[in-house]
Structure 1
Amino acid sequence: MPLPDSSSRDILHTRSITMHGYLRSDGLVDVEAHMLDRKPEELVFADGRRLAPGEPLHDMAVRLVVDQNLCIVDAVACIDASPYRVCAEAALAVREVIGFTIGPGWSSMLKNRFTGRRGCTHLSELLRPLATVAIQALWRMRKDAPEKTDGQGRPLKIDSCYAYAATREVVKMRWPGHFKEEGTP
């Protein structure tokens, strides 16, 4: 179902983000994000540079290389267009995620390492959802792995999202022993 119609309007900004996951010949997985921002009007930067309407304001990409356990074994970024020339230097900060494992605490780690003067806001915005892309990309290789559970044997997926709420039909079908009727503790 598409969004409902809106009022008459003029475009102010376009941001396109594409993300892909690739299985490499060495068994590792590349997850990549590319972001492109465009404005419909000419921009003039503080240093006098001009950006024609529709030319990229931001053009940046990130690649994470992860193993089957979601450990990041390599990371690289590039900034091909930005408002300030110095922005391209921020791409090097992405290498700081090497050695981290995608999972609980991912967003907090990014916030602590890439906010303010330590990193690029836009690259950080790309790194957050790359975690989900990595998980989705590895699905085929991990689909037959045992379900992760807590100490009581309850699958960790339960209550991790709307569909997996303990009171929903998905839990009733997949894990009937953990299903809860609406309103029960």
Structure 2
Amino acid sequence: MPLSPSPERKPLHTRRVTCQGYERADGLWDIEGHITDEKHYAFGNDWRGTIEPGQFLHEMWIRLTVDDTLTVRAVEVATDNSPFAHCPAILPNFQRLVGLRIAAGWTSAVKQRLGRTEGCTHLVELLGPVATTAFQTLAPVFNARRTGTAAGPPPVLNTCHVMASDGPVVKRWFPEHYTGPADGERTQD
């Protein structure tokens, strides 16, 4: 177990986020996300009545269809369970993602189009893990491209400390984009 043992406790809430990436026969890619929220006790809801343990308060889905550049070509969203009858009314707004590229600035661009009252908090949050899943799904495409520089820097460059342009992974995998000291150079601490 990666975490230390905790004192005696009882579960109250479980959120599950599942994302999957698929290669399509037509050359595009489907990236799907599913989010659920479940309370471990019964509680009243004005719209749905009593929500029992095992029933989802939230259950929502999103599919982004992207091309090899991670540009969104199609969006599908669904809300199977929500706390309010009018939650699904906002789903058409998610078509605003079509044409957007999953790259630096993705989160900001999503919030510009779907932030606050223009979207659903849960589906907007789900777009973060969906974007990460898109990168992981298309890794073979990016790996095949990393030998040439004509396409520009790899999308993962400077996205975390391991992919820092001055780090050992970039030095090995993307030497043409490495910005650290050359072999034999000394760095000052």
TM superposition score category, shorter chain reference = 0.7 to 0.9
3-state SS of paired residue (2:161): coil
Residue 169 of structure 2 is matched in structure 1 by 170
Q: d(CA) in 1 for partners of 2:11 and 2:37? A: 13
The letter of the residue matching 1:179 is G
Given that 2:102 and 2:131 are in contact with CA atoms closer than 8 Å, whether structure 1 keeps it comes out as: yes
Given that 1:78 and 1:91 are in contact with CA atoms closer than 8 Å, whether structure 2 keeps it comes out as: yes
Percent of pairs with identical residues: 36
Given that 2:42 and 2:50 are in contact with CA atoms closer than 8 Å, whether structure 1 keeps it comes out as: yes
How do residues 43-58 of structure 1 correspond to structure 2 at under 5 angstroms? 43-47=43-47, 49-58=49-58
The letter of the residue matching 1:163 is V
Q: d(CA) in 2 for partners of 1:3 and 1:159? A: 29
Given that 1:147 and 1:155 are in contact with CA atoms closer than 8 Å, whether structure 2 keeps it comes out as: no
Given that 1:14 and 1:37 are in contact with CA atoms closer than 8 Å, whether structure 2 keeps it comes out as: yes
Given that 1:164 and 1:171 are in contact with CA atoms closer than 8 Å, whether structure 2 keeps it comes out as: yes
Given that 2:48 and 2:83 are in contact with CA atoms closer than 8 Å, whether structure 1 keeps it comes out as: no
TM-aligned CA deviation for residue 170 of structure 1:
2.5
How do residues 56-135 of structure 1 correspond to structure 2 at under 5 angstroms? 56-135=56-135
Asked whether 1:179 is paired with 2:172, we answer no
State the TM-score, normalized to the length of structure 1: 0.86
Given that 1:37 and 1:56 are in contact with CA atoms closer than 8 Å, whether structure 2 keeps it comes out as: yes
Q: d(CA) in 2 for partners of 1:52 and 1:142? A: 45
3-state SS of paired residue (2:144): coil
**Change in 2 beyond 3 A, CA 1:154/1:115:** closer
More displaced, 175-184 or 9-18? 175-184
Q: d(CA) in 2 for partners of 1:96 and 1:166? A: 33
3-state SS of paired residue (1:90): helix
TM-aligned CA deviation for residue 46 of structure 1:
2.6
TM-aligned CA deviation for residue 131 of structure 1:
1.3
TM-aligned CA deviation for residue 173 of structure 1:
3.9
Residue 35 of structure 1 is matched in structure 2 by 35
3-state SS of paired residue (1:127): helix
Given that 2:21 and 2:31 are in contact with CA atoms closer than 8 Å, whether structure 1 keeps it comes out as: yes
The letter of the residue matching 1:178 is T
Asked whether 1:160 is paired with 2:159, we answer yes
Q: d(CA) in 1 for partners of 2:165 and 2:51? A: 52
TM-aligned CA deviation for residue 165 of structure 1:
3.2
Gaps of 5+ in 1: none
Q: d(CA) in 1 for partners of 2:172 and 2:8? A: 45
Q: d(CA) in 1 for partners of 2:9 and 2:98? A: 44
Number of residue pairs aligned between Structure 1 and Structure 2: 183
